[in-house]
Amino acid sequence: MRERLAVGLLQADLVWQSPADNYLQLADLLAEQALGLHLVLLPETFTTGFTQSTQEFAEAFPGPTLRWMQAQAALHNFTLAGSYHVREDGRYYNRFVWVHPDGDYGYYDKRHLFSMAGEHEVFTPGHARKIFECQGWRCLPQICYDLRFPVFSRSRGDYDLAIYVANWPEARTAQWQRLLPARAIENQAFVAGVNRVGIDGEGYVYPGDSQIYDPLGEPMCENEGGVTLLRAELSALQLARLRDRFPVHDDADEFTLRL
Protein backbone atom coordinates (compact mmCIF):
# COMPACT_ATOMS: atom_id res chain seq x y z
CA MET A 1 0.00 0.00 0.00
CA ARG A 2 1.45 3.32 -1.02
CA GLU A 3 1.96 5.67 1.96
CA ARG A 4 0.49 8.68 0.15
CA LEU A 5 -2.45 8.55 -2.25
CA ALA A 6 -3.05 11.77 -4.21
CA VAL A 7 -6.77 12.09 -4.94
CA GLY A 8 -8.55 14.68 -7.09
CA LEU A 9 -12.26 15.53 -7.24
CA LEU A 10 -13.37 17.16 -10.50
CA GLN A 11 -16.30 19.37 -9.53
CA ALA A 12 -17.72 20.12 -12.97
CA ASP A 13 -20.68 21.98 -14.48
CA LEU A 14 -22.01 19.19 -16.68
CA VAL A 15 -23.51 20.03 -20.07
CA TRP A 16 -27.08 18.72 -20.19
CA GLN A 17 -27.48 15.59 -22.32
CA SER A 18 -24.33 16.23 -24.35
CA PRO A 19 -21.62 13.56 -24.00
CA ALA A 20 -19.43 15.14 -26.70
CA ASP A 21 -19.35 18.51 -24.92
CA ASN A 22 -18.66 16.86 -21.58
CA TYR A 23 -15.80 14.82 -23.02
CA LEU A 24 -14.20 18.03 -24.28
CA GLN A 25 -14.62 20.13 -21.16
CA LEU A 26 -13.58 17.36 -18.76
CA ALA A 27 -10.53 16.51 -20.89
CA ASP A 28 -9.47 20.17 -20.80
CA LEU A 29 -9.88 20.36 -17.01
CA LEU A 30 -7.92 17.15 -16.51
CA ALA A 31 -5.09 18.39 -18.72
CA GLU A 32 -4.94 21.70 -16.86
CA GLN A 33 -5.30 20.56 -13.26
CA ALA A 34 -4.77 16.83 -12.69
CA LEU A 35 -0.97 16.62 -12.86
CA GLY A 36 0.55 14.32 -10.25
CA LEU A 37 -2.64 12.63 -9.08
CA HIS A 38 -3.03 8.90 -8.57
CA LEU A 39 -6.84 8.86 -8.59
CA VAL A 40 -9.34 11.30 -10.17
CA LEU A 41 -13.08 11.13 -9.52
CA LEU A 42 -15.79 12.50 -11.82
CA PRO A 43 -19.41 13.21 -10.77
CA GLU A 44 -22.34 10.85 -11.20
CA THR A 45 -23.67 10.64 -14.80
CA PHE A 46 -20.78 12.83 -15.96
CA THR A 47 -21.60 12.46 -19.67
CA THR A 48 -25.19 13.77 -19.52
CA GLY A 49 -26.22 15.07 -16.12
CA PHE A 50 -28.95 13.29 -14.14
CA THR A 51 -31.30 12.68 -17.06
CA GLN A 52 -33.97 9.99 -17.28
CA SER A 53 -33.78 9.96 -21.11
CA THR A 54 -32.13 6.59 -20.85
CA GLN A 55 -33.03 5.07 -24.19
CA GLU A 56 -31.45 8.01 -25.95
CA PHE A 57 -28.24 8.31 -23.94
CA ALA A 58 -27.44 4.93 -22.40
CA GLU A 59 -24.66 3.22 -24.32
CA ALA A 60 -23.44 -0.30 -24.86
CA PHE A 61 -20.75 -1.51 -22.50
CA PRO A 62 -17.92 -1.42 -23.39
CA GLY A 63 -18.58 1.69 -25.44
CA PRO A 64 -17.38 5.22 -26.27
CA THR A 65 -17.28 6.56 -22.70
CA LEU A 66 -15.16 3.68 -21.48
CA ARG A 67 -12.78 4.24 -24.39
CA TRP A 68 -12.62 7.96 -23.55
CA MET A 69 -11.85 7.13 -19.89
CA GLN A 70 -9.14 4.67 -20.92
CA ALA A 71 -7.53 7.29 -23.16
CA GLN A 72 -7.54 9.90 -20.37
CA ALA A 73 -6.22 7.49 -17.75
CA ALA A 74 -3.39 6.41 -20.06
CA LEU A 75 -2.54 9.97 -21.11
CA HIS A 76 -2.24 11.27 -17.55
CA ASN A 77 -1.16 8.03 -15.84
CA PHE A 78 -3.87 8.03 -13.18
CA THR A 79 -6.88 5.92 -12.25
CA LEU A 80 -10.11 7.58 -13.41
CA ALA A 81 -13.61 6.87 -12.10
CA GLY A 82 -17.18 8.18 -12.43
CA SER A 83 -20.64 6.98 -13.39
CA TYR A 84 -22.70 7.07 -16.58
CA HIS A 85 -25.67 5.27 -18.14
CA VAL A 86 -25.17 1.93 -19.85
CA ARG A 87 -27.39 -0.74 -21.35
CA GLU A 88 -26.85 -4.49 -21.20
CA ASP A 89 -29.18 -7.33 -22.16
CA GLY A 90 -32.15 -5.01 -22.47
CA ARG A 91 -31.57 -3.40 -19.06
CA TYR A 92 -30.21 0.00 -18.01
CA TYR A 93 -27.71 0.71 -15.26
CA ASN A 94 -26.24 3.76 -13.55
CA ARG A 95 -22.72 2.35 -13.67
CA PHE A 96 -19.64 3.50 -11.76
CA VAL A 97 -16.64 2.67 -13.94
CA TRP A 98 -13.10 2.41 -12.59
CA VAL A 99 -10.27 2.62 -15.15
CA HIS A 100 -6.56 2.05 -14.56
CA PRO A 101 -3.81 3.69 -16.66
CA ASP A 102 -3.15 0.38 -18.43
CA GLY A 103 -6.78 0.27 -19.63
CA ASP A 104 -7.93 -2.43 -17.20
CA TYR A 105 -11.31 -1.60 -15.67
CA GLY A 106 -14.01 -2.66 -13.24
CA TYR A 107 -17.50 -1.42 -12.48
CA TYR A 108 -20.17 -1.12 -9.81
CA ASP A 109 -23.88 -0.67 -10.60
CA LYS A 110 -25.82 1.73 -8.36
CA ARG A 111 -27.61 -0.26 -5.69
CA HIS A 112 -30.03 2.33 -4.27
CA LEU A 113 -32.05 3.95 -7.03
CA PHE A 114 -33.66 7.31 -6.27
CA SER A 115 -37.34 6.40 -6.42
CA MET A 116 -38.50 9.96 -5.74
CA ALA A 117 -37.13 10.91 -9.16
CA GLY A 118 -38.36 7.72 -10.83
CA GLU A 119 -34.87 6.29 -11.23
CA HIS A 120 -36.14 2.85 -10.15
CA GLU A 121 -38.63 2.85 -13.03
CA VAL A 122 -35.88 3.14 -15.62
CA PHE A 123 -32.80 1.46 -14.18
CA THR A 124 -32.00 -1.95 -12.74
CA PRO A 125 -30.30 -1.87 -9.33
CA GLY A 126 -26.92 -3.45 -8.83
CA HIS A 127 -26.57 -6.51 -6.63
CA ALA A 128 -22.88 -6.57 -5.83
CA ARG A 129 -20.77 -4.59 -3.39
CA LYS A 130 -17.38 -3.96 -4.98
CA ILE A 131 -13.90 -3.04 -3.77
CA PHE A 132 -11.33 -1.64 -6.21
CA GLU A 133 -7.63 -0.94 -5.71
CA CYS A 134 -5.44 2.05 -6.52
CA GLN A 135 -1.78 2.05 -5.51
CA GLY A 136 -2.62 -0.69 -3.01
CA TRP A 137 -5.41 1.36 -1.41
CA ARG A 138 -8.74 -0.47 -1.14
CA CYS A 139 -11.60 1.70 -2.39
CA LEU A 140 -15.36 1.27 -1.97
CA PRO A 141 -17.38 2.77 -4.87
CA GLN A 142 -20.82 4.25 -4.14
CA ILE A 143 -23.21 6.47 -6.12
CA CYS A 144 -25.17 9.44 -4.74
CA TYR A 145 -28.31 8.05 -3.01
CA ASP A 146 -26.21 5.14 -1.66
CA LEU A 147 -24.89 7.67 0.87
CA ARG A 148 -28.15 7.47 2.84
CA PHE A 149 -27.80 3.74 3.53
CA PRO A 150 -24.98 3.18 6.02
CA VAL A 151 -25.30 -0.60 6.26
CA PHE A 152 -24.37 -0.95 2.59
CA SER A 153 -21.16 1.02 3.13
CA ARG A 154 -20.34 -0.46 6.55
CA SER A 155 -16.68 -1.42 6.65
CA ARG A 156 -15.81 -5.00 7.42
CA GLY A 157 -12.13 -4.16 7.46
CA ASP A 158 -12.17 -4.32 3.68
CA TYR A 159 -11.56 -0.74 2.52
CA ASP A 160 -9.49 2.37 3.23
CA LEU A 161 -11.33 4.95 1.12
CA ALA A 162 -15.07 5.23 0.44
CA ILE A 163 -16.03 7.12 -2.73
CA TYR A 164 -19.36 8.83 -3.43
CA VAL A 165 -19.96 10.30 -6.90
CA ALA A 166 -23.11 12.39 -7.06
CA ASN A 167 -25.60 14.76 -8.60
CA TRP A 168 -26.73 16.00 -5.18
CA PRO A 169 -29.04 19.04 -5.39
CA GLU A 170 -28.78 22.24 -3.39
CA ALA A 171 -32.09 21.59 -1.61
CA ARG A 172 -30.45 18.74 0.33
CA THR A 173 -27.01 20.24 0.88
CA ALA A 174 -27.16 19.89 4.66
CA GLN A 175 -27.61 16.13 4.43
CA TRP A 176 -24.65 15.76 2.04
CA GLN A 177 -22.44 17.80 4.36
CA ARG A 178 -23.40 15.74 7.40
CA LEU A 179 -23.51 12.23 5.99
CA LEU A 180 -20.09 12.23 4.30
CA PRO A 181 -18.11 12.89 7.52
CA ALA A 182 -20.40 10.50 9.39
CA ARG A 183 -19.39 7.70 7.02
CA ALA A 184 -15.72 8.54 7.64
CA ILE A 185 -16.08 8.51 11.42
CA GLU A 186 -18.18 5.36 11.73
CA ASN A 187 -15.96 3.35 9.39
CA GLN A 188 -12.58 4.84 10.34
CA ALA A 189 -11.84 5.42 6.67
CA PHE A 190 -11.14 8.29 4.33
CA VAL A 191 -14.22 9.46 2.42
CA ALA A 192 -14.31 11.34 -0.90
CA GLY A 193 -17.53 12.86 -2.20
CA VAL A 194 -17.60 14.56 -5.62
CA ASN A 195 -20.68 16.50 -6.70
CA ARG A 196 -21.43 18.59 -9.77
CA VAL A 197 -22.17 22.32 -9.89
CA GLY A 198 -24.52 24.40 -12.05
CA ILE A 199 -28.13 24.02 -13.17
CA ASP A 200 -29.33 20.98 -15.11
CA GLY A 201 -31.93 20.75 -17.87
CA GLU A 202 -34.70 20.16 -15.33
CA GLY A 203 -33.87 23.34 -13.44
CA TYR A 204 -32.23 21.68 -10.42
CA VAL A 205 -29.34 23.61 -8.85
CA TYR A 206 -26.20 21.80 -7.71
CA PRO A 207 -23.80 23.49 -5.25
CA GLY A 208 -20.80 21.19 -5.54
CA ASP A 209 -19.65 20.94 -1.91
CA SER A 210 -17.22 18.22 -2.98
CA GLN A 211 -14.93 17.20 -0.15
CA ILE A 212 -12.45 14.65 1.14
CA TYR A 213 -12.66 13.75 4.83
CA ASP A 214 -10.05 12.07 6.96
CA PRO A 215 -10.98 9.11 9.21
CA LEU A 216 -11.88 11.50 12.03
CA GLY A 217 -14.38 13.28 9.80
CA GLU A 218 -12.22 16.38 9.32
CA PRO A 219 -12.25 18.10 5.87
CA MET A 220 -9.02 17.97 3.88
CA CYS A 221 -9.74 20.43 1.03
CA GLU A 222 -10.54 24.10 0.61
CA ASN A 223 -13.62 24.31 -1.62
CA GLU A 224 -14.45 27.81 -2.82
CA GLY A 225 -17.22 26.60 -5.12
CA GLY A 226 -17.62 26.61 -8.87
CA VAL A 227 -15.81 24.45 -11.39
CA THR A 228 -12.62 23.22 -9.78
CA LEU A 229 -10.42 20.23 -9.11
CA LEU A 230 -9.97 19.62 -5.39
CA ARG A 231 -6.97 17.62 -4.28
CA ALA A 232 -5.69 15.98 -1.12
CA GLU A 233 -3.03 13.48 -0.12
CA LEU A 234 -4.27 10.59 1.98
CA SER A 235 -1.88 9.06 4.53
CA ALA A 236 -1.78 5.31 5.14
CA LEU A 237 0.18 5.94 8.35
CA GLN A 238 -2.54 8.22 9.74
CA LEU A 239 -5.15 5.57 8.97
CA ALA A 240 -3.15 2.74 10.54
CA ARG A 241 -2.37 4.71 13.70
CA LEU A 242 -6.01 5.63 14.26
CA ARG A 243 -7.23 2.07 13.79
CA ASP A 244 -4.48 0.78 16.09
CA ARG A 245 -4.91 3.33 18.88
CA PHE A 246 -8.72 3.48 18.82
CA PRO A 247 -9.87 0.08 17.52
CA VAL A 248 -13.63 0.54 17.53
CA HIS A 249 -13.90 -2.18 14.89
CA ASP A 250 -13.08 -4.73 17.59
CA ASP A 251 -16.46 -3.96 19.19
CA ALA A 252 -18.49 -3.78 15.98
CA ASP A 253 -21.59 -5.92 15.51
CA GLU A 254 -21.40 -8.99 13.34
CA PHE A 255 -23.88 -9.02 10.46
CA THR A 256 -24.53 -10.50 7.04
CA LEU A 257 -25.46 -8.14 4.20
CA ARG A 258 -28.11 -9.68 1.95
CA LEU A 259 -28.23 -8.09 -1.49
| Active-site position among 59, 110, 139, 202 | 110
CA-to-CA distance for 129 and 166, rounded, in angstroms? 18
Can you tell me whether residue 47 is helix, strand or coil?
coil
**Which member of 44, 134, 139, 221 is catalytic?**
44
32 to 26, 36, 109: CA distances (angstroms): 10, 11, 30
Question: Is the distance from CB of 99 to CB of 79 less than 8 angstroms?
Answer: yes
CB 170 within 8 A of CB 198: no
DSSP state letter for 144: G
Residue type for position 96: F
Plot region of 247 (φ>0 → left; ψ -120 to 50 → alpha; else → beta): beta
In a 3-state reduction of DSSP, which class is residue 152?
coil
Q: Is 144 a catalytic residue?
A: yes
Which among 134, 139, 144, 221 is annotated as catalytic? 144
Contact between 57 and 23 (Cβ < 8 Å) = no
139: annotated active-site residue: no
**Can 130 be counted among the known catalytic residues?**
no
Which residue numbers are catalytic? 44, 110, 144
